[in-house]
Amino acid sequence: MKKYLKGDEWNIIEEGFHAEFNKVSESIFSLGNGRFGQRGNFEEYYSGESLQGNYVAGVYYPDKTKVGWWKNGYPEYFAKVLNAVNWIEIDSWIDGERLNLADCKILMFKRILHMREGYLERRVIVELPSGKQVEIHAQRFCSMANNRMGVIQYSITPLNFDGDIEFHLGLDGDVRNADANYEEHFWEEVEQREDDGSQFLTMRTKKTGFEVCVGFYYSAHLDGQQLEGGQQAINRDQYVGYKQKVEVQTNEKLTIYKYVSLISSMDIAKTCLLNESKVNISTMKKRSYVDLLQEHQDAWKKKWNESDLIIKGDVSAQQAIRFNIFHLNQTYTGEDERLNIGPKGFTGEKYGGATHWDTEAYCIPYYLRTAEARVAKNLLLYRYRHLEKAIENGEKLGFSDGAALYPMVTMNGEECHNEWEITFEEIHRNGSVAYAIYNYVTYTGDRRYLADYGIDVLIAIARFWSQRVNWSEEKQAYVILGVTGPNEYENNVNNNWYTNTIAVWCLNFTIDVLREIEVSWNEDYQDVLTRTNFKADKEIDRWKSIIRQMYFPEDKVLGVFLQQDGFLDKEQVLVKDLDPKHRPLNQKWSWDRILRSVFIKQADVLQGLYFFEEKFDLETLRRNFDFYESRTVHESSLSPCVHAVLAAKLNRGEQAYELYLRTARLDLDDYNNDTEDGLHITSMAGSWMSVVEGFAGMRVRNDLLSFSPIVPKQWECYSFMMNFRGIVLQIEISENSVQVSNKSADADLLIGLFDDTYTVRASCKIEIPNKKSGNEEKIAY
């Protein structure tokens, strides 16, 4: 836990340089625009602790897998997000002395992430070993208005000397992934080109053959006066750049503008990459830095108008939630169905492949509610496009006849992960892919999606479950053996309640959707049967038999569902009785000890109660929540949010607030001591969920959007923007009232508040008294 950043409603501020946390700061101060992004590295050379990181969406490398003991069925490759060309370099020699903050005395240091405007700023005053003092002022952004563009404004001012400054501006393609399994270099150079004062470097990934062309030009100014001439090209292997030496006098400010174009072969045919890059550079040359920054800020303004969440009376919570929203919007903009949300976004390399079940379970709800439907739809189509690969993956594991198992971790639809207990056994992920379809059509009302795309995925998933169960003579029921549930602190268990529940739900939902297609789009129904080679009677009969006779472990005496068979054989101890020196368990205990203990990493039974809450009454939720939460150590970043939502539903504001804090400031406070590897992007969606689904109690049932809010007592009030079926809404909640504003110019909307419904007219606001206290007691047993 670290507390070195300043509280502020709109900005993240580091005052004074915390060299020891620099890698943490680099993660926190990351920038991105959905197409590319980068860690908050310094522009100038820095020999201290740093993880240099630049990433381009969708560009990956299949790194050869590293395993201790090979198991049949493991994937041979692990698709990794790639550290790409470093384009921020602005390196300076002052009278021949290289500027390196690690060598300097830091007289002033301030790093600010301007979240509203979307740029990173740094002001530094340092004294070099020679005694020379300079002031640095840097600003940069990855443009949201033109997502092929990054710009830096960088100035140096000598404070106590006259002398010369030689600066080097480069594009460096000789970068490596810190997490490469065999320290291989994943890139090779395609070409270098200098053209009309611009340098271009095209790099290609080995094996996958992605190409990325980065180009730049720059201008240098002395006290606002542009310098003409004097630049010298630098070209060496995998590197292009310019250098220039300038005489400067005390207090004269040397300012450099570095305008960068970055385009990958994801978007432009390789043969056109260089040309398109030149065009992009020409476009930039026609505008000033100020213009470009303004366009970028305008794009961010639009983002905030759709997704801001305001908390009054709690600066720390306000800063945190905006930090989460900011990074979610930087990571994924929903323009390309081939992209997804990596666990670290553009802020680090860890966990390699982009896509986990986090996307379906945590991220889709966020994008669904804060953006137009196409954004979430693209995340669904991503899985739809991978269906064939998911079926192949199923075949690799012994399934047949079009049964799909979606990968645990993937980039291109192929499985990347290779721990058998996860890769082969954490099969509930298949359920969340189906659940996301349900979530999408429920929220958007776009039911055509089911007939056009959804049903193919659903049938393939239903087929998987149908083959994955087996009949137990002993239990006279269907069982699902050998799985890992969402709680990864259990492996290879039998009859994980959550998995059995979502499996049956998938079968039911698929049958319902088939019926809906048959009824609503009968002309498409036959096509569905044909293209999926569906044996309607036979397959549905089997599914129904499984639905009817599935086994669900539960304990009637305690009145709780059992996480898995044998759960009550464990020693029943509670987290509150755990000696703090044993925590976090995953760093203190050997794996077997974790496995046989009762302690839970993240919501498991409770994940099911969250997904399928309509099926269970409040008493059932309460009993299960109290039983399981008291055994949960929340050692996954995805854990607290689901618990926060459920606690709020149980009207326990205090507990919900505690849980919310753990997720919202996870990275800002480096709660788990791992922010240096990158931010927990996917769990950021969970923070948002905690507020909107948790405190505000947002739900959609039968096409009705409703709220049942509470206010944590630490907050005066809070409000947030939502997009429901094309209508932008603002919800404002205080202890006394709930207000809903309909920002649409022409559409009215029926909404639910507590137990009543109200029509909110276009461009109008309604206000009703708040009815919930959020004061119920927690019971631990």
Tokens read off for 448:
């055509």
3-state SS assignment for residue 558: coil
404 HSE (CA, 13 A, CB side): 29
- At its nearest, how many Å lie between its own copies and the CB of residue 408? 12
Is the Cβ of residue 19 or residue 574 nearer to its own copies in the bound state?
574
Encoded one letter per residue, x for contact with its own copies by CB under 8 A and - for no contact, window 576-605 reads: ----------xxxxxxxx-xx---------
Asked whether 261 and 216 are in contact (CB, 8 A), the reply is yes
Encoded one letter per residue, x for contact with its own copies by CB under 8 A and - for no contact, window 62-81 reads: ---xxxxx-xxx--------
Count of residues engaged in binding its own copies, rule: CB under 8 A = 48
Asked whether 603 and 561 are in contact (CB, 8 A), the reply is no
Measure the CA–CA gap between 696 and 649, rounded to whole angstroms: 9
Among left, alpha and beta (phi > 0; psi -120 to 50; other), residue 480 is: beta
Q: Is 475 in the site for its own copies (CB under 8 A)?
A: yes
Task: Find the helix or strand (DSSP H, E) in which 442 lies.
Answer: helix 428-444
Q: Is 559 in the site for its own copies (CB under 8 A)?
A: no
- At its nearest, how many Å lie between its own copies and the CB of residue 560? 13
Q: Give the binding range for its own copies (CB under 8 A) out of 249-257, 479-487, 535-543, 608-616.
A: 479-487
> Which residues, 6 or more positions from 523, have their beta carbon under 8 angstroms from its beta carbon?
none
- At its nearest, how many Å lie between its own copies and the CB of residue 191? 34
Is the Cβ of residue 159 or residue 481 nearer to its own copies in the bound state?
481
Measure the CA–CA gap between 501 and 620, rounded to whole angstroms: 15
- At its nearest, how many Å lie between its own copies and the CB of residue 181? 9
Radius of gyration of the chain (CA): 27
Measure the CA–CA gap between 391 and 178, rounded to whole angstroms: 33
Encoded one letter per residue, x for contact with its own copies by CB under 8 A and - for no contact, window 489-518 reads: --xxxxx-----------------------
Catalytic status, residue 89 = no
Where in 65-162 does DSSP place strands (E)? 77-83, 90-94, 97-98, 105-114, 119-127, 133-142, 149-158
Q: Is 3 in the site for its own copies (CB under 8 A)?
A: no
- At its nearest, how many Å lie between its own copies and the CB of residue 683? 20
Measure the CA–CA gap between 515 and 689, rounded to whole angstroms: 32
Is the Cβ of residue 381 or residue 595 nearer to its own copies in the bound state?
595
Q: Give the binding range for its own copies (CB under 8 A) out of 99-107, 341-349, 354-362, 412-420.
A: 412-420
Is the Cβ of residue 95 or residue 565 nearer to its own copies in the bound state?
565
> Which residues, 6 or more positions from 83, have their beta carbon under 8 angstroms from its beta carbon?
52, 53, 54, 55, 175, 176, 177, 178, 349
- At its nearest, how many Å lie between its own copies and the CB of residue 412? 20
DSSP tally for the chain: helices H, then strands E = 22, 33
Q: Is 572 in the site for its own copies (CB under 8 A)?
A: yes
Q: Give the binding range for its own copies (CB under 8 A) out of 18-26, 86-94, 471-479, 725-733.
A: 471-479
Of 360, 415, 488, 539, the active-site residue reads 488
Is the Cβ of residue 167 or residue 478 nearer to its own copies in the bound state?
478
> Which residues, 6 or more positions from 429, have their beta carbon under 8 angstroms from its beta carbon?
356, 357, 360, 406, 408
Beta pairing class for 749-753 and 704-707: parallel
Asked whether 761 and 743 are in contact (CB, 8 A), the reply is no
Name residues contacting its own copies, limited to 46-65 (CB under 8 A). Answer: 65
Q: Which of 474, 523, 617, 755 binds its own copies (CB under 8 A)?
A: 474
- At its nearest, how many Å lie between its own copies and the CB of residue 779? 19
Is the Cβ of residue 68 or residue 131 nearer to its own copies in the bound state?
68
Q: Which of 189, 419, 518, 674 binds its own copies (CB under 8 A)?
A: 419
Q: Give the binding range for its own copies (CB under 8 A) out of 42-50, 568-576, 603-611, 754-762.
A: 568-576
> Which residues, 6 or more positions from 59, have their beta carbon under 8 angstroms from its beta carbon?
82, 84, 205, 208, 210, 212, 264, 266
Q: Which of 473, 523, 579, 746 binds its own copies (CB under 8 A)?
A: 473
Residues found near its own copies in the complex (CB under 8 A): 65-69, 71-73, 396-398, 418-421, 424-425, 470-475, 479, 481-482, 491-495, 565-566, 568-572, 586-593, 595-596
Residues catalogued as catalytic: 488
